[in-house]
Chain A
Amino acid sequence: MSAQTVAIIDYGSGNLHSAAKAFERAAREAGLDDTRIVLTNDAELVSKADRVVLPGVGAYADCRRGLDAVPGMVDAMTHAAHTRARPFLGICVGMQLLATRGLEHEITPGLDWIPGDVGPIDPRDAGLKVPHMGWNTLQVDREHALLAGIPVGEGGLHAYFVHSFALSPKRSEDRVAHSEYGGAVTAMVAHDNIAGTQFHPEKSQRLGLVLLANFLRWRP
C-alpha cells in the first residue's frame, strides 16, 4: 500500500493520545509502514487526508460545541468524507455525532450522516446498571470489512464500552453490530465509506487493534 495520512481530529476532547498510539501500533503490526498518523486541529490537513478519525468522549453537546469551535473543521470533514469519499471512522461520541441529533440533556444537532437519534439506554432488566460500562461481545447484523478476522458472537472477543446513550439508526442496514444489554444496543454503524463504533477500539486490546488495522486497509 502506498503512503497514507490518517488525520485524527483534535477538538479538545479527551484521550486523543491513546487513540493515536493505538493506530500507530495497529499500523506497525499490519506492516503499513508508510502510514502517517496525525493528531490535528488543522481543517486543511483533514480535508486532504487519506483517512479521517473523529474520536470523542464526554457529553454530546459539549463535544459538538468543541467541534464547531475549530474553524472550518465540519466543512473539512464533510469534504473528506462526502466529496472525496475517504474512509471515515467515528469513535464513541465521535460516532454519535454522525447521527441526526443527540438527546443528552438537551437536543443537539449532529452531522446527520447516519440518520437517527442518540437517546438514553433503557435496559429492559431494571437490575442492569447504566452507564453500560465494561466488556461486551459483538452481535453482527451484517458483514463488514472492519470486522474481518474478529471473532464475534457470545464466544467471541470483547469490546470496551462506556456510555449511557446510544445511536438508533433510521435505516436498519446502517447498523453493522449490536451488543446485548437488556435489549440491543448499537455497537457499530456504517454507510458507504463512513463507519462508527460506540465502543473504544483504542481500549479494546486485541479486538481493537485488529479493527483499527482493518480501517487502515479499508477500501470502501
Chain B
Amino acid sequence: MLKTRIIPCLDVKDGRVVKGVQFLELRDAGDPVEAAKAYDAAGADELCFLDITASHEDRGTLLDVVSRTAEACFMPLTVGGGIRMVTDIRTLLLAGADKVSINTAAVNDPDFVARGAEKFGSQCIVVAIDAKRTSGPGEPASWQIFTHGGRKPTGLDAIAFARAVTERGAGELLVTSMDRDGMRSGYDIALTRAISDAVSVPVIASGGVGELDDLVAGVRDGGASAVLAASIFHFGQHTVSEAKAHMAAAGLAMRLDL
C-alpha cells in the first residue's frame, strides 16, 4: 500500500540553510547537507530544498549542495527556486535532484512545463502553486496565483492553473497557501481539497503547519498525498517520527521503517 509522505523543506540561501536547523546535534546547523543527513536518518520520506538565492549567477553553490546531498542521502530530493530554462532542470537532475519544483516560470509560460515533461518525464516535474484566497465572505471560494513570495498577483485562478499545468505534464503539484504560510494555523484545507479534486496527479499540502493535527487534516480533509512542513521540524517542536506516529494513530497509512 502506498504511504502518505512527510517532506521537510529547507530554505537555502547562498548554500546555507536560512535560520538554521535547531534540532539534533548538528555540527553545523546551517549546512543543508548536514540537515539532509539528519532528516534522512530521522525517517523523512523525501526532502525539499527551496533555493532563495537572489542572484542567478550563484547557482554553482546550490548545485554543489545538491550533489553532496545526493552522495550522502539515498532518499528522494526535490529542488526548487529560480528554475527558468530547460537547462536549469537538466543541471539540477544531473547534480542529483530527483524532481524539480517550478514556480514563476510555469506562471509566465505554462508550455515550459510541457517542454520539461517531454524531455525529462512528468515524474520529475513538480509545479509549485502559491495561492491566496481572493473571494470575500459569503462568496464561492476562489484563489488566485501569486508570485514573488506572495507579493505579485497574476490574475490567474488557482484551480484553472492547476488543471492547465497538469494537462501540460506536471507530475505533482506543491500547493502553498500564501495566506497561511508562516501563520502556524494549519493548511488552507479548502484550497488543498479543491486542487486535489481537480487534478489526477498527487498534491503536496504546504503552508501553515502549526501542530501535528494540521498534517492529518491536510491528507484526510485536503486530499493531499504528501505534507510539507518546515518550522515544526527545524526548530525541534516535533520529530518526523512523532509526526508519523501521530498520523498513523489518526488512521493514515505511514511508512514506519527504521
Contacts and interface: CB of A to CB of B under 8 A. Distances in A.
B120 A14 contact: yes
B205 interface: no
Contact of A17 (B96, B118, B119, B122): B96
Interface stretch (B68-76, B143-151, B209-217): B68-76
A1 B122 CA distance: 41
Contacts of B90: 14
Looking at B93, B95, B172, B202, the one whose CB has the most chain A CB atoms below 10 A away is: B202
A45 to B, nearest CB: 21
Contact of A131 (B97, B98, B122): B122
A113 interface: no
Interface in A165-220: 179-181, 200, 202-209
B67 interface: yes
Contacts, number: 118
Interface stretch (B1-9, B10-18, B54-62, B182-190): B1-9
Nearest to A151: B257
Interface residues of A, number: 42
A208 B93 CA distance: 20
A132 interface: yes
A134 interface: yes
Contact of A15 (B93, B200, B255): B93
B225 A154 contact: no
A25 B75 CA distance: 14
Contacts of A57: 93, 98, 120-121, 123-124
Give the top 10 A-B pairs by smallest Cβ distance, nearest first: A14-B93, A58-B121, A129-B202, A18-B70, A162-B123, A135-B255, A21-B71, A135-B3, A158-B255, A136-B2
22 contacts: A21-B71, A57-B98, A57-B124, A59-B121, A62-B118, A128-B2, A129-B200, A129-B225, A130-B200, A130-B201, A131-B201, A133-B123, A134-B4, A136-B1, A158-B257, A162-B76, A162-B99, A164-B122, A202-B74, A205-B75, A206-B257, A207-B257
Interface of B: 1-5, 40, 45, 67, 70-72, 74-76, 90, 93-99, 118-124, 171-172, 200-203, 225-226, 255, 257
